[in-house]
Amino acid sequence: MRRYSAFAIAREAARYHQGWERAWRAPEPKKKYDVIIIGAGGHGLATAYYLGKNHGITNVAIIEKGWLGGGNTGRNTTIIRSNYLQDPSAAIYEKARSLYETMSQDLNYNVMFSPRGVIMLAQTEHEVRGYKRTAHANALQGVKTEFISPTRVKEIVPIINLDGPRYPVLGGLWQARGGTARHDAVAWGYARACSDMGMDVIQKCEVTGIRNEGGKVVGVTTTKGEIDCDKLGMVVAGHCGDLARMAGFRLPVESVPLQALVTEPIKPCMDCVVMANTVHGYMSQSDKGEMVIGGGTDGHNAFTQRGSFHHAEETVRALIETFPMVARLKMLRQWGGIVDVTGDRSPILSKTPVENIFINCGWGTGGFKAIPGSGFGFAELMATGHSPLTEAFNLDRFKEGRFIDESVAAGVAH
């Protein structure tokens, strides 16, 4: 694979861009692989990448029933942060945030990481106490955050209205090294690197059955035939429950729609990410000038990739109070994803009741920010049977009562 560089751009410009290679191969599946990853989203591709990079396992297939990155990876608001209260959460999200900082260089692919900073607004006295507590916990965890005053919030975000009648801004939890990245580029960069290591990225290949013998996985049945494997990783977000049933066990997750929208593009007016968790609304400005707006999950279980109108209305109504200028903008487009949510609002990265089947799911609305840390830890778990990053997120915690409660600790249910 040729490296991308300024010299490569100049060379191809001179020959009318006729010499570019395909970013990744489109092979037919082989009969058997050492590892099969189901799901070619960010988490699945990152797992495959770190299996190859860190553990030398390259006889890997990443199987995707649709197109690469066409699920939640391409349907989110791209926020990256690690200011979580619980130690296991802070560890895996901070690992992810640090890997994002060097991802473009590591993958030789510009993922457009922008450490523009993230503010989580405190709009009630309860949130003020909670975020101050989180800032102290982050200091002990080595995660750099600080609780800032309303005046400082206004300095960072001049367009904000501090004196909303329902939701006044009382301060905020500020993580200067948080930010955003280009979601499609993250998936494409990982796919290109995996393909370069000899891995097979197989699209339009749906898994219709999981075969096991004597309680041990032996392969999968797909729309492109049967494929054998020694180890199987399930990384399919909202559809993880369906795959688990195919394998013969159940997961403590539920799937719900999550929606977002963008406005028409405008001139630069906000150079950080703002999260208003009292109303579960958050906003940033894209490189193209669009205001990217997200909200909370819908209140019903569904597998639709669109949200309900009333939920978008509630989110936008609250954001207009905090950012009055939003009222003058037109909505450009809206979309939704299918997120898988656990009871304690923390993910599952674990072995399963079937030997050599591993599950990575339950990220809820916080999956994008965790992609490289999740892939790093899950690859280690699959390769060696243990990872310090994933140990606390195993399935046994639900029957043992070892919950990692981030629904309150993080101030938002992700």
- Torsion-angle region of residue 102: left (phi > 0), alpha (psi -120 to 50) or beta? alpha
> What pLDDT is stored for residue 407 in this prediction?
66
Q: How far apart are CA 100 and CA 295, in angstroms?
A: 24
Q: How far apart are CA 142 and CA 150, in angstroms?
A: 25
Give the CA radius of gyration of the chain.
Answer: 21
Name the token pair of 355.
Answer: 């030997």
Q: How far apart are CA 116 and CA 131, in angstroms?
A: 20
- Asked whether the beta carbons of 107 and 45 are under 8 A apart, the reply is no
> What pLDDT is stored for residue 278 in this prediction?
83
336: nearest Cα among 261, 262, 253: 261
- Asked whether the beta carbons of 43 and 359 are under 8 A apart, the reply is no
Task: Identify the sign of the CA torsion 36, 79, 307, 191.
Answer: negative
> What pLDDT is stored for residue 413 in this prediction?
43
Q: How far apart are CA 200 and CA 386, in angstroms?
A: 25
What domains sit in the chain, N to C, each tagged with a CATH number? 25-78+183-252+344-409 (3.50.50.60), 114-179+255-342 (3.30.9.10)
> What pLDDT is stored for residue 122 in this prediction?
95
Angle (CA) 119-84-293 rounded to 5° is 40
Q: How far apart are CA 146 and CA 83, in angstroms?
A: 10
CA dihedral 351, 352, 356, 362 (to 10 degrees): -60
Average pLDDT for consecutive 10-residue bins of the chain (414 residues)? 88 89 92 97 97 98 94 91 94 97 96 96 93 95 97 96 90 96 96 97 96 95 97 94 94 91 95 89 93 85 77 84 92 89 92 97 92 98 97 94 74 45
Q: For residue 30, give every residue at least 6 positions away whose Cβ sits within 8 Å of its Cβ, in sequence order, or none.
A: 61, 200, 227
> What pLDDT is stored for residue 414 in this prediction?
44
